[in-house]
Chains A and B, each alone.
Chain A
């Protein structure tokens, strides 16, 4: 799960090329790795890939700050 998401961010969503790869603990939001539009795309990707629905009130920083956070969040939905 972690690898799938990291790969998707690196290849499709990152604003710039990420040197030495993305870590699961990297801050996606504060460091400008993913912009607002990229975040919306990431949510759609997660919904499709893991067949879950991200409810509006789950669209919060704590669930999407890092790839680790995202994985923890997805696990609660599966």
Chain B
């Protein structure tokens, strides 16, 4: 019976021992190998004192060892905590201290970075995956793979034990750690396999770094089905043509990423001349996929089904909207309906359920829901909506912070963030609305509207990217906005940029845009 994440690998190692579980560039690992090597890592961690409930850090770029790190840490009974190597050192130290990491799994590529982290005060005891000597206990991957398993005893892991903690930016400026259990992660993995019909013959493309929840699909759902996951390298993500070539060569059948990567493939990957006939599912999440762009891609890949996935990291995934044929209008596509083992309510400001078709806050209750925020009970409590059934018994929902409403087909429409709703000179303005109008303009590929505040003088500034082919001027766009929006929502300035600052997961970094505009004025 599979009731924790470790069982996934144990089961697939029995059923498909010689199948490739993960591939990265020229390297690959079979399920049997992954099972053995993750046992070796677990055994070593246990001899270093790791026990159930501990947190072990993973500081790695995309590479094959990420799969061994994840499952080795899980098998030791600990939860894995991905640390983005692109983070500034200060932030890395914060994560290590915040969740009390004593052991770090890494690779030689991070050697310099680790040396710097070790310079200041820390509680680290072991670095796994380093060949060079540092001022701390280290062990190379080569030596981990020489570990004998005669004395290895597997840990009894319950589904309620912690499996991973993903740090995400918090509104206060300090990151918050989202805790998932084996149960919530496995519920997600199983629901994905069920909903999209994952098979052992599937080739799943993983473009996400470990600290981004999109990676759970490639690292847990695919192995659950006995499929092969292609770990896409950092280099490929910088060159759309190389990415397209890799996708074609690997005969990828299931794709999952943020819309941005697909848009780059569409515009810069010269995908028209390549064969993507094996692609059967294109999944995307994390941001709104401009309908125009989605349609263009769907027309190029008519054999594939597309799915708009919605769900904050706190819930993994919770809704989906599948498309077999390209959308007919430019209206934003719905986020759809909740999947199995999940329910929702739409609430008004007073936490009352709104009337059908009315706008409100989406709260979700699901088997895929987090345990809470690490070491932050107050924040966890504030993020929950509790519906009391009887004394001592309540249904617990997560407040997504997202505004939604139902359309006439009973599908959820995403309207924007609860907290990106702004007031300007007394008017209530939804940023998403302005962005959608800009996106409707021929030639505009992405749009981000932000509000700047110079000496209490707030103003709306729109920034857009264009396809570089159509002639788009700021005057045209302003006229377009004036034609389609109430005058108080028309941006004061519209800037056509060459690129947007992005977060490490590929989302538009609005805060950086605001800083950039401030420095311009």
Contact = CB atoms under 8 A, between A and B. Distances in A.
Contacts of A51: none
Contacts of A29: 233-235, 238
A36 interface: yes
A53 B34 CA distance: 45
Contact of A36 (B85, B237, B241): B237
A32 B237 contact: no
Nearest to A56: B268
Interface in A19-72: 19, 27, 29-32, 35-37, 39-40, 56-57, 59-62, 64-65
A15 interface: yes
B509 to A, nearest CB: 11
B241 A39 contact: no
Given A36-B502, A56-B268, A57-B270, A30 B241 contact: no
Contacts of B239: 59-61, 64
A16 to B, nearest CB: 8
Contacts of B502: 36
B241 A56 contact: yes
Interface string A1-18: 000000000000001000
Contacts of A60: 239, 241-242, 245
Nearest to A64: B239
A57 B242 CA distance: 9
A40 B238 CA distance: 9
Interface in B238-253: 238-242, 245
Given A30-B234, A31-B61, A61-B236, A56 B270 contact: yes
Contacts of A19: 112
B499 interface: yes
B86 interface: yes
Contacts of B235: 27, 29-30, 61, 65
Taking chain A's interface residues, is the majority helix, strand, or loop, or is none over half, making it mixed? loop
Contacts of A31: 61, 109
Interface in B68-89: 85-86
B241 A57 contact: yes
Contacts of B268: 56, 59
Contacts of A40: 498-499
Interface residues of B, number: 22
A31 to B, nearest CB: 5
Contacts of B241: 56-57, 59-60
A52 B131 CA distance: 42
A36 B86 CA distance: 12
Contacts of B233: 29-30
A58 B498 CA distance: 20
Contact of A39 (B61, B86, B238): B238
Contacts of B234: 29-30, 32
Contacts of A36: 237-238, 502
A35 B164 CA distance: 27
B434 to A, nearest CB: 25
A28 B85 CA distance: 14
A37 B109 contact: no
A32 B86 contact: yes
Contacts of A62: 242
A40 B499 CA distance: 10
Nearest to A18: B112
A39 B498 CA distance: 14
B86 A15 contact: yes
Given A56-B270, A57-B270, A32 B238 contact: no
Interface in B479-516: 498-499, 501-502
B386 to A, nearest CB: 42
B246 to A, nearest CB: 9
A15 B89 CA distance: 12
Interface in B422-479: none
Nearest to B85: A32
Interface string B55-71: 00000010000000000
Contacts of A56: 241, 268, 270
A74 to B, nearest CB: 17
Could you say which of B241, B245, B499 has the most chain A C-beta atoms within 10 Å of its C-beta? B241
B86 A35 contact: yes
B123 to A, nearest CB: 24
Contacts of A57: 241, 270
Nearest to B240: A59
A35 B234 CA distance: 9
Contact of A37 (B85, B86, B242, B499): B499
18 contacts: A15-B86, A29-B233, A29-B234, A29-B238, A30-B235, A31-B109, A32-B61, A32-B86, A32-B234, A37-B499, A57-B241, A60-B239, A60-B241, A60-B245, A61-B238, A61-B242, A62-B242, A65-B235
Interface of A: 15, 19, 27, 29-32, 35-37, 39-40, 56-57, 59-62, 64-65
Given A27-B235, A30-B234, A59-B241, 7 more contacts: A30-B235, A32-B85, A36-B237, A59-B268, A60-B245, A61-B236, A65-B235
